[in-house]
């Protein structure tokens, strides 16, 4: 089946789909994105993802490429044309096409919009979650506005590659005080020896993950103690459990950090139960 991408008003086969070389996304990484889970043909937490897109666009003063109701139609149509039942839909908005100049292009320059969707094998993710993943740690050398979901992801790319080259699936980024901020493409969590579920506060130092927000509801519903605070690498090494969250992975147990086993070295009961219950707390659209 040929895959279809939405590019600035047209649905094109992936072979034909392309953007202008003067697109500011290509020239300056001057754009933002969202990635939303598709499950049983439904969009998971669409409202929250679109709300975060609104915030990212506003923070960077990028105009909406379409009104949000039209974007909702394009997302669904892209999912439909690609026959995705379980997978992801990806939305990218850039400041549009203009002759290369760092300053913003003339007022009225239309933003660019690309929407793609692809199927993911739910079984593959489940197998990964059953085994758990390894993470490494690297210094967090990103800019100070990582709360905005921009497409400028070079430090994240380098961190992820460092993880892959060491046989791990994710890199945890560590601030100057030795505290974990988040993963290169996920939020980071631990379960302490006394059973508290801990993640860093959503200030400007992390992306406020949608999965993270929904999981806080699941944690409270399960009667677990939730603590929103930074934790150190040393604390993570002595944690009972660790896990990461992201729309494409939901709750993914972490079983090794820098080569050292976390807890029993197997996915723990807290992460496993939160993964099982996550979608009861998510919004299905
Ligand atoms: N990444 N932190 C970072 C740096 C991320 O890139 C992501 C998501 C998250 C989790 O956010 P959410 O729960 O809303 O997916 C946290 C996406 C999935 C990606 O870049 O592929």
Average pLDDT over residues 79-90: 98
180's tokens: 């974990």
| Own/partner pairs, 68-73, CB within 8 angstroms, 24+ separation | 71/113, 72/46
Alpha helical stretches, state H, the chain: 24-28, 46-60, 68-81, 122-131, 154-165, 210-221, 233-237, 269-281
Q: Which is the closest atom of ligand 1 to the Cα of 49?
A: 14
Q: Ligand 1 pocket: which residues have CB below 6 Å? A: 35, 156, 182, 185-187, 207, 209-212, 245-248
Residue nearest to atom 16 of ligand 1 (CA): 186
C-alpha of residue 96 to centroid of ligand 1, in Å = 23
- Catalytic positions, please? 149
Strands 197-199 and 226-228, sheet pairing: parallel
pLDDT for position 1: 58
C-alpha of residue 46 to centroid of ligand 1, in Å = 14
| pTM, two decimal places | 0.97
For the stretch 198-237, pLDDT in tens is 999 998 899 999 999 999 999 999 999 999 999 999 999 9
Distance CA 197, CA 222 (A): 11
For ligand 1, pick from 43, 200, 247 the residue to mutate: most ligand atoms within 8 Å of CB: 247
Q: Is the pLDDT of residue 127 over 80?
A: yes
C-alpha of residue 100 to centroid of ligand 1, in Å = 29
pLDDT for position 2: 65
For the stretch 41-53, pLDDT in tens is 999 999 999 999 9
DSSP 232: B
């Amino acid at each position: 089946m040929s895959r279809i991408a939405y590019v600035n008003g047209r649905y094109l086969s992936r072979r034909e789909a392309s953007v202008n070389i003067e697109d500011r996304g290509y020239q300056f990484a001057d754009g933002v994105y969202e990635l939303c889970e598709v499950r049983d043909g439904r969009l998971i937490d669409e409202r929250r993802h679109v709300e975060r897109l609104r915030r990212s666009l506003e923070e960077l003063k990028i105009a909406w490429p379409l009104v949000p109701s039209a974007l909702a139609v394009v997302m669904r149509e892209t999912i439909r044309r690609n026959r995705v039942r379980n997978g992801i839909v990806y939305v990218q908005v850039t400041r549009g096409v203009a002759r290369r100049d760092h300053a913003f292009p003339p007022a009225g320059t239309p933003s660019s919009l690309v929407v793609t969707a692809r199927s993911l094998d739910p079984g593959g993710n489940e197998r990964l979650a059953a085994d758990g993943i390894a993470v490494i740690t690297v210094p967090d050398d990103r800019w100070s506005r990582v709360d905005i979901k921009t497409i400028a992801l070079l430090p994240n790319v380098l961190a992820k590659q460092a993880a892959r080259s060491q046989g791990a699936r994710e890199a945890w980024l560590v601030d100057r005080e030795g505290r974990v901020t988040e993963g290169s493409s996920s939020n980071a969590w631990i379960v302490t020896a006394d059973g508290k579920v801990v993640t860093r506060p959503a200030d400007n130092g992390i992306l406020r993950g949608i999965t993270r927000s929904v999981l806080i509801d699941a944690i409270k519903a399960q009667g677990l103690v939730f603590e929103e605070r930074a934790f150190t690498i040393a604390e993570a090494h002595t944690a009972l459990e660790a896990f990461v969250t992201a729309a494409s992975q939901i709750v993914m147990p972490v079983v090794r950090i820098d080569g050292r086993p976390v807890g029993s070295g197997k996915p723990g009961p807290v992460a496993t139960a939160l993964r099982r219950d996550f979608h009861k707390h998510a919004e299905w659209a």
